Amino acid sequence: MKKPDSPPDSPAGLSRRALLGGTAVATALVSLDARGRAFAAGAPGKEAPPAAKPFEMEEKTVAELQAALASGEYTAQGLTERYLARIAALDTVGPLPLRSVIELNPDALALAAALDQERREKGARGPLHGIPVLLKDNIGTADKMETTAGSLALVGAKPARDAFLVERLRAAGAVILGKTNLSEWANFRSTRSTSGWSARGGQTRNPYARDRTPSGSSSGAGTATAANFCAVSVGTETDGSIISPSAAASLVGLKPTVGLVSRSGIIPIAHSQDTAGPMARTVADAAVLLSVLAGVDPADPATAASRGKAHADYTRALDVDGLKGARIGVPRERFYGYHAATDARMEEALALMKSRGAILVDPAPIPQADKLQAPEFEVLLYEFKAGLEAYLASLGEGRAPRTIAELIRFNEEHAADELPFFGQELLHQAQAKGPLTDKTYVKALQDCRRLSRAQGLDAVMKKHRLDALVAPTEAPPGLVDLINGDHWLGSSSTPAAVAGYPSITVPAGYVRGLPVGLSFIGRAWSEPVLLKLAYAYEQASKHRRPPTFAATADLGAR
């Protein structure tokens, strides 16, 4: 047995005192300038980031970390110190910094130390006891950190309480390490936004090629988890915001059934589609985290539907032979064919699944999938206005905007910081909408549910007696373009997002060193089935590899 861990050598000029000093560590590692942008104290900014030094926590799973904590090889405080040092060394240096972490928890080390003492005196609370976790910066915490959705308008506007899922994480013994950057307002601000950019956090970049998009809107969570800045992270999704950045960072991302995980305390976009969910390097880690996140919350009525359908331990679904006998549909129409190299990775994946006993129903098109975009957009505009204004009203007294109109005005008054690259067209469109009693909204919501559920996913699943559908998550990540905005070739997130049904993305390989993911899509409350299939595929393929932090893609690679 190794001796209990001690603090690592001080990275990036940090003294041992700064590294161990509670509040000082957040100030030393990531600070905010006068306009709220994250920067590293003393970071040179003109040189390439240092090659990532060997990191003893690299690719460690939650189970491996928990075993090391149980044996005394590591302590929670030691793990926290190491992840903080890793962030300091790699996140905010060089001409194309990752900028994945928007803020660190000044109490992280003190919380970890208290959890160490509790472990010694009472034992561990469960599999997340002492495990460092990062949260997307639209997930509320009633502590010393901000909750801003990346906007300067919400700096200083403190939520009255932790989000329900944060309460569950704290009760499970997780160490809340900090907040991750995101596409501002979860990418619901402009029609030509750049994923991963926020006024408060700057531009997050992809750790596999730093000139490439991290995808959005849980972009910081994707980059940070892939870069081994934490054990696991929590993202949020309305349509693609967990699945997409996870695929772009060679991660496992699970978008749960709407209602499985509470949304209370999370800055919203649309209550009919919003959910939080796990982002992890392995399917097993995603299952561990989901087991903690899932729960009925009186403050979120949607979670009442999960009663009797949620599971206390999703790791029990993991089965290395889970593909055997599974009926998996291949919806080629619309969800394949937009990128040849991505299709090639998918054909390899389908062949592997078949070799492991899966029964492929090919093709198995999703009916009505081409009719979802218009009603979905209408619903999002209406629900964003209603949901965000209700959230802003809950913040109490302060200078934060209380309406979409006030938010628009704030951005105009701070245009140099908030609007330097793209505008706020979606805010204007949402502001023009009426209440949720409008006939236009009611019809659009009805259309979304009918087209995506009864006439869509439910129809194809029933017709072919499917356990799941499988499709490329999206094309390899494109270039960051702050002038023209994102350029999308295709994705498969929308049917499950609009239906409120679960999906999970798993690494499916690489195209010229850039990650590609595949998504399993299922019926409502079918998370155990999706986890079983994803785990079996992951264990058979073993595609995940850590990032190299390259400046650009390797055009000589396959």
Write out the chain's pLDDT in tens, 558 residues: 433 333 332 223 222 222 223 333 333 333 333 333 333 333 333 445 556 678 999 999 999 999 999 999 999 999 999 999 999 999 998 889 999 999 999 999 999 999 999 999 999 999 999 999 999 999 999 999 999 999 999 999 999 999 999 999 999 999 999 999 999 999 999 999 999 999 999 999 999 999 999 999 999 999 999 999 999 999 999 999 999 999 999 999 999 999 999 999 999 999 999 999 999 999 999 999 999 999 999 999 999 999 999 999 999 999 999 999 999 999 999 999 999 999 999 999 999 999 999 999 999 999 999 999 999 999 999 999 999 999 999 997 778 999 999 999 999 999 999 999 999 999 999 999 999 999 999 999 999 999 999 999 999 999 999 999 999 999 999 999 999 999 999 999 999 999 999 999 999 999 999 999 999 999 999 999 999 999 999 999 999 999 999 999 999 887
b/e map 82-120, b = 16+ CB within 10 Å = bbbbbbbbbbbbbebbbbbbbbbbbbbbebbbebbebbe
**Residue among 5, 7, 105, 91 nearest 49 (CA):** 91
Query: Which position has the token pair 């790699």?
Result: 90
What is the residue-wise DSSP string for 384-397? HHHHHHHHHHTT-S
Closest listed residue to residue 273, CA positions, set 519, 503, 488: 503
Question: How many CB atoms within 10 Å of residue 71?
Answer: 11
For 387, the token pair is 């949901």
Residue 297 in any domain: the answer is yes
**Per annotation, catalytic residue among 183, 215, 219, 241:** 241
CATH assignment at residue 264? 3.90.1300.10
Token reading at 391: 């959230």
Whether 37 maps to a domain, the answer reads: yes
Most distant CA pair in the chain, distance: 67
- Residue at 447 is within a domain: yes
475 domain residue, yes or no: yes
> Is residue 215 flagged as an active site residue?
no
Question: Is residue 50 assigned to a domain?
Answer: no
Residues with Cβ within 8 Å of 326's Cβ and at least 6 positions away in sequence, in order, are 357, 358, 359, 467, 468, 533
From residue 155, alpha-carbon distances to 148, 199, 201, 281 in Å are: 6, 11, 12, 31
Q: How many CB atoms lie within 10 A of CB 188?
A: 24
What are the backbone dihedrals phi and psi of residue 77, each rounded to the nearest 5 degrees, phi first?
Answer: -65, -40
> How many angstroms from the chain centroid is the CA of residue 267?
14
Instruction: For helices 283-293 and 62-71, give the axis angle rounded to 10 degrees.
Output: 80
Q: Count of domains in the chain?
A: 1
User: What are the structure tokens assigned to 544, written together?
Assistant: 């995940």
Q: What single letter denotes the amino acid at residue 93? A: V
The C-alpha atoms of residue 104 and residue 97 are separated, in whole angstroms, by: 17
Answer whether residue 431 is part of any domain: yes
Q: Closest by alpha carbon to 517, among 360, 356, 319, 346?
A: 346
Rounded to whole angstroms, how far apart are CA atoms 523 and 516? 24
In a domain, 184, yes or no: yes
- Is residue 217 annotated as part of the catalytic site, yes or no? yes
151, 183, 190, 217: the catalytic one is 217
CB–CB of 193/486 below 8 Å? yes
Q: Determine which one of 136, 158, 385, 532 is catalytic.
A: 136
Would you tell me the crossing angle of helices 340-355 and 527-541 to the nearest 10 degrees? 100
Provide the residue range defining the domain that includes 434.
16-44+61-541
333 part of a folded domain: yes
Q: Please confirm, yes or no, whether 250 is among the known catalytic residues.
A: no
